[in-house]
Amino acid sequence: MSKALAPYLLSLPGGLWLLALFLVPLVTMLSLSLQTCNFGTGACVMTWHWGEFGQQLNLYHGQLLTSFYYAGAATVIDLLVSFPIAYWIAFYGGRKKNFFLLMLLVPFFVSFVIRTVVWEFILSDQGVVLGPLKHAHLLPQNFHVLATGFAVVAGLAYNYLPFTALPLYVAIERIDKRVLDAAYDLYATRRSAFSRVILPLTIPGLFAAFLLTFVPALGDYVNQQILGGTSDTMIGTVIQNAFLVNLDYAGGSALSAVLLAVALIGIFAYARLLGSRTIEDYL
């Protein structure tokens, strides 16, 4: 009897945690998106106003697409950049592995916002980089990096790099180095050893890195506000403004719900295609 109950008892703390800190806020948000709120008092009444979704999507579907596009681009950049880094540290870091990992993390001891604002300062039109280049007529006067989608993607990629690099490192580090020797013994070229041995073994790490980078980047509202311009607004900025600047709680909730739903569907589809099978296989 007690043996049968044990798994449930053991999962109770985790379950309560999920209930209190995930399900309750989630249901609250979903319910809020169907309510009508008074901007002044903040008081909300349930009106089952499904129209809010249509209206918000009508106004901001473009920003939603931009977010997926930018977060996707930043994630791909991060994967491409951090794979060699993680691979090199794991295979060739030797006794200095921890030192190299620390080097990777050092910039991230500085606050997220400060780091981004410093980039704004560095990249401003007449700033330390572009100013001299323009002065030397190497760049046209109206050239600018800030206020472009490129700057936003670069900022996202820069800010979320450790979230990609660390899970990848963990996955690569765990690979038994002798499998490479085995591959070479079986006449594998360096390329095929990488593509048929190393890469498949890192897929769970790639998947984790993708999730940890893509999901927060999707809802990011800092990079676009600081580095972006007029036509690259991400949905995170719209949601943040709805909640904190315009006090439109219903609208903000509706957009959050849409973002969550689309992200979950996409990620589950992705997991079924790529993630879960390999995680089961390799864990």
Structure tokens at 122: 């560095």
Per DSSP, the residues of 103-122 read HHHGGGGS-HHHHHHHHHHH
From residue 96 to residue 125, the character string flagging contacts with another protein as x (rule: CB under 8 A) and all else as - is ----------------------------xx
Q: Which of 73, 74, 154, 238 binds another protein (CB under 8 A)?
A: 238
Number of residues that this document lists for the chain = 283
Q: Which of 49, 53, 55, 266 binds another protein (CB under 8 A)?
A: 55
Pick from 208, 171, 154: nearest CA to 91: 171
Q: Which of 45, 114, 136, 283 binds another protein (CB under 8 A)?
A: 45
Distance CA 227, CA 149 (A): 8
Structure tokens at 97: 């592995």
Q: Which of 139, 170, 175, 247 binds another protein (CB under 8 A)?
A: 247
Structure tokens at 93: 């870091």
Contact 211, 267 (CB under 8 A): yes
Pick from 256, 229, 226: nearest CA to 240: 256
Residue placing its CB nearer to another protein in the complex, 60 or 119:
60
How near is the Cβ of 249 to another protein at its closest, in Å?
A: 9
Q: Which of residues 64-93 bind another protein (CB under 8 A)?
A: 65-66
Q: Which of 6, 12, 18, 59 binds another protein (CB under 8 A)?
A: 59
Pick from 219, 185, 200, 204: nearest CA to 71: 219
User: Which span sits near another protein by CB under 8 A: 40-48, 183-191, 203-211, 212-220?
Assistant: 40-48
First to last CA, the chain: 31
Q: Which of 72, 139, 144, 270 binds another protein (CB under 8 A)?
A: 144
Position 160: which residue type? Y
Q: Which of 142, 185, 273, 280 binds another protein (CB under 8 A)?
A: 142
Residue placing its CB nearer to another protein in the complex, 147 or 262:
147
User: Which span sits near another protein by CB under 8 A: 37-45, 85-93, 202-210, 272-280?
Assistant: 37-45
Q: Which of 18, 21, 27, 261 binds another protein (CB under 8 A)?
A: 27
CB burial of residue 55 (10 Å; 0-12, 13-18, 19+): middle
User: Which span sits near another protein by CB under 8 A: 157-165, 183-191, 194-202, 231-239?
Assistant: 231-239
Q: ∠83-87-91 over CA atoms, to 5°? A: 180
Tokens 């939603």, located at residue: 64
Residues lying near another protein in the complex (CB under 8 A) are found at 24, 27-28, 31-32, 35, 37-46, 55, 59-60, 62-63, 65-66, 124-127, 142, 144, 146-147, 229-233, 237-238, 241, 244-248
